Structure 1
Amino acid sequence: MDQIKLTMKELKAFIILWSTQSISTLGSSMTNFALIILSYQRYESALVTAMLSVCTYVPYVIMSIFAGAISDRWNKKYIMLASDSFAAFCTVFVWILLRNDRLEIWHLYALNALNGLMNTIQQPAADVTTSLLIPEKHYQKASGMRSFSNSLVNIVTPMIASTLLALTNIQTVILLDLITFVIAFLALLFFIKIPEIQKEKTTQETVLQSAKNGLKYMKQNRGILDLILFLAAINFTASMYNAALPAMILSKETGGEVALGVINMVTGISMLVGSIMVSLSPTPMSRVKVILNTLLLSMSTENFFLAFGNTLPIWCVGAVLGWIGIPIMNANMDVLFRSYIPLPMQGRIYSARNTLQFFTIPIGYFLGGVLVDRVFEPFMAIQPAQGVFVMFFGTGKGSGAAFLFFVLGVLGVVTCLVFRKDKNIRQLEQ
């Protein structure tokens, strides 16, 4: 009990920040889920809904490399408060447009782009704040807690959002989002004191010099760089998966909104279990092997279950196998980064990492939408009823997305096998 009390005391500020920000994330996730459903129902296009994520990530990726200097110089609390406030303003604007029946898809594209731009500064500030609020011995525990909350959000988001959409309307979802924002904002403003990093001469660098130093650090630490490039390749496959999933599930006769919500819920439960496992687990003998093995498990299972399965239970089994290892991978990767990168440079390094690791996401979302709408669905539409492709992937709308999942499964496995041989990544254990 004394050890538990000591741990709670050491993590008090982090727990307050983590819990309130998680509540706010839940509100934002419900709004995003509702808007994706609304967009697909209105336009019936995988590309239209995928462009929502593309518009979020493009400014984030382009500007991230320069945001580290701002994050390292400016007050972390003020950065997070300003970013959260701007996101809330965008949500209010969406609510006003909906109330007046004037919301168009280009409004959402523009607002997502602006939010992505603000996240460019907020994300490295939040990452560094976590390092400042907790002792190094609790890094794995904190990573597990963050994965736990993210998983819980994935579980309850579709349930709450779908229920509110069925019983009320999307404006109610947005109102709940704004309430959660107020809770997180007040907690950060009044109850969280973020320690300042001791100023160094590097704070006098220009933004371009800081970006250059972030890239230089990674070039000198090839294990970190190659690991980031590995994750960039995985993100490319994963973003095409995310673009194709709603198109397939919402289109198939055995799918629909409820099925999509159930799959998201099962995904969240799987990540929740993985988060609990990593939070309670001792330090592994090889964090690198854990990262490599969990990603191989994910890439070699779910995509194939989605490709060849045609019922909700099979899709759910794939979701369990595909996502249960992701929190374990994230926690071990997070500890590696926090342990290797000097604290005064973390903002710059994380920003450079975000650019390199996430630049493939908007490309993947866009390509996934195009491939579903323009390539795989038209291809499956002209296949003969007794053809081999119909035998494997079915017929009707959604069969093209299923074919794409097979391709993504092969691509994901090949990516994992190639990077398993990377000597620089394996040398991180030394």
Structure 2
Amino acid sequence: MSERADMIRFAGIWTASLLSGVGSSLTAFVLGVWVYQTTGSPTQFALVMLCGLLPGILIGPFAGMVADRFDRRWVLIVTDCLAALPTAAVAALVSTDLLEVWHLCLATAISAACGTFHVTTYQAMTPLLIPAKHLGRANGLMQLTAASQIAAPVLAGGLMVAIGMAGVLVVDLATFSVAVLTLLLVRLPATVLRPNQGRERPAVGADLAWGWRHLRARPALMGLVLVQTGFNFVFAVAGVLVQPLIMSFASPGVLGVLMFAGGAGMFAGGLFMAAWGGPARRVGGMALFMALGSLFLMAHALRPSPLLVGVAAAAFLFTLPVVNGCAHTVMQAKVERDVLGRVLGTAHSLGAAATPIAYLLAAPLAEYLADPCYGRTARSPAVSARSSVWAKEGASPWSCSPTACCWPRWPPPSSSPPASHAGERPARRRASERHHRLTAPQKGPVCRSPCRPTRPAPSSRDRRPPRCSTWSA
């Protein structure tokens, strides 16, 4: 009976969190659309996105400390209420036609900070809510919130047409209300709410660094966090480049359908993980599904076909809940319950730091890996996005392009003039040495591919050989 009651409690909190996540996803999409339609500036749009990323990087350890120190029910309730305040303010500004971009930057930052507290506390509570044997299933269900974020554009687009931007914000506020009401009604034991009650609290500074020290003292857990961070980097680059890949050969309507297909694949993966519970060897299962995800992601670049991209996107996103569910289950099973919030907060900060780095590197990858031997932007967006998606998964550049097969083979120049110059008059010898320096072979790469060099063939006075952007020393 106790196990059944625990599962009912978890189901209530999970439902509230899912509804809140869906509402937040709808709001994030319509606000992004408003920024781009109003300003027409990608920079302003990127600024709003950056405001949503930075809080997760900066306050992760602080969120973990709060989750371990205070009543976790009230941490969830207070953060949900604080997240609802900027949403209500934006709705009021929209109705009065006074909304500005800086309002959205501030509201997005506050909502993202509250979301960091919510996720950290929620994941720290999970192993105390349900038996250890069901942790994998619970983490699979928790991945459905991420699936709703991917599929949100389709639902948000329909709602925006039907009820407008203000109506979508009101729906988000309604989901916050349901989440808070559920948290107030669900009865939770004291061991779940305050696992550290009665213990001596360290200083705040020591508490903030506790998660990092705990990970450094356990290399296996640190390795798991770093692998998860790298996986987040890969996923973020894919999110930036796959959309230009689709738009290069399809319409915006097709893009929306394919994004919905990807979200459906992730939703199916979460249900699969919830029913299965994950492999017995969690880390081995992570490695297997990461490898499968890499293959599915590279399949996007085989040919410009909406059907192929739709199947590959759904298959790739199907693997994400299994990978993330296994990683979270290992962390929750191996870390002590009274310090789990601090460790998860630090892990979330490291994982979130990979996303802005990926966004900054995605464009250079598309520009310089798309057409290696030309050293400039690809002639079509499809080629650019395709090559970068292949390269980011760890495929070597020469496997991305059939023309990238350049190797250095220049012999080192002779350090002295030929012996035949000895004995010549000084003026003639100096002329011979100058001629030797200009005509002797130089160090550097030579392109053995049929492509053209980045500039015309050098003259006899040009010491630099033709360059190829894809060569290995």
**Matched residue, 1:87:** 83
Contact kept? 1:16, 1:192, Cα under 8 Å: no
Counterpart-to-counterpart distance in 1, 2:383 and 2:38: 21
Paired residue for 2:164?
169
Matches within 5 A, 1:18-37: 18-37=14-33
Q: Distance in 1 between matches of 2:288 and 2:355?
A: 22
Give CA deviations for 1:36-93 in whole Å, capped at 9, x if unaligned. 3333445556554343332222122122123322221111111111111111111112
What is the distance in 2 between the residues matched to 1:246 and 1:51?
Answer: 19
Is 2:320 the partner of 1:326? yes
Question: Which residue does 1:340 correspond to in 2?
Answer: 334
- Secondary structure, aligned partner of 2:188: coil
Superposition deviation, residue 340 in structure 1? 0.2
The answer to whether the 8 A contact 2:143-2:321 is kept is yes
Given that residues 24 and 181 in structure 1 are in contact (C-alpha distance below 8 angstroms), is that contact kept between their aligned partners in structure 2?
yes
- CA distance 1:102–1:405, change in 2 (3 Å): farther
Give deviations 1:278-331, integer Å, cap 9, x for gaps.
Answer: 2222652421111112122223332x3444543422221221221111111122
Q: 1:271 to 1:123 in 2, by over 3 A?
A: same
Q: Show the counterpart of 1:119.
A: 115
SS of the aligned residue for 2:250 comes to coil
2:204 pairs with 1:207: yes
2:392 pairs with one of 398, 403, 408: 408
Structure-2 change in CA distance of 1:410 and 1:298 (3 Å) = same
Q: Distance in 1 between matches of 2:198 and 2:331?
A: 23
Alpha-carbon distance change, 7 to 201 in structure 1, aligned in 2, over 3 angstroms: closer
Identical counterparts, % of pairs? 22
How far apart, CA to CA, are the structure 2 residues paired with 1:66 and 1:105? Answer: 28
Rate the CA distance shift 1:411–1:169 in 2: closer, same or farther, 3 A. Answer: farther
Letter in 2 for 1:69: M
Instruction: Select 1:224's aligned residue among 218, 221, 224.
Output: 221
Does the 8 A contact of 1:66 with 1:208 survive in 2? no
Correspondences of 1:285-300 after superposition (within 5 Å) = 285-300=280-295
The change in CA–CA distance for 1:412 and 1:85 in structure 2 (over 3 A counts) is farther
Query: Aligned partners of 2:354, 2:132: CA distance in 1, in Å?
Result: 31
Q: Secondary structure at the match of 1:199?
A: coil
Q: CA 1:145 to 1:92, structure 2 compared with 1: closer, same or farther past 3 Å?
A: same
Query: How many Å apart are 1:115 and its aligned residue?
Result: 2.2
Unpaired segments ≥5 residues, structure 2:
398-473
Match of 2:136 in 1: 140
**Cα contact 1:46–1:247 (8 A) shared by 2:** no
CA shift for structure 1 position 339: 0.8
Aligned length: 393
Matching of residue 180 in structure 1 with residue 165 in structure 2: no
Shift of 1:274: 1.7
Counterpart Cα distance in 2 of 1:134 and 1:202? 24
Cα distance in 2 for partners of 1:58, 1:411 equals 30
Distance in 1, Cα, partners of 2:208 & 2:396: 30
Relative distance call for 1:44 and 1:296 in structure 2 (3 A) is: farther
Among 55, 62, 67, the residue aligned to 1:71: 67
Cα 1:404–1:194 shift into 2, 3 Å: farther
Distance 1:338 1:399, change over 3 A: same
Higher relative contact order (CA closer than 8 Å, sequence separation 6+): 1
Task: Give the TM-score, by structure 1 length.
Answer: 0.81
CA apart distance, 1:202: 6.0
Question: Which residue does the alignment assign to 1:263?
Answer: 258
Task: Give 1:105 deviation, angstroms.
Answer: 2.9
Deviation at 1:166, TM superposition (A): 2.7
Residue deviations 1:193-242, cap 9 Å, x none? 35333436764211221133221211121111011111112222222332
Kept after mapping to 2: 8 A contact 1:307/1:404: no
2:393 alignment partner, SS class: helix
Aligned CA RMSD, in angstroms, stands at 3.1
**Aligned-partner SS, 1:204:** coil
In structure 1, the gaps of 5 or more residues are 414-430
Query: Whose helix fraction is larger, Structure 1's or Structure 2's?
Result: 1
Q: Is the aligned partner of 1:376 residue 2:367?
A: yes
- In 2 relative to 1, CA 52–398 (structure 1 residues): closer, same or farther, beyond 3 Å? farther
Match for residue 238 of structure 1?
Answer: 235
- CA separation in 2, counterparts of 1:289 and 1:339? 16
In the alignment, which residue of structure 2 is the partner of 1:49?
A: 45
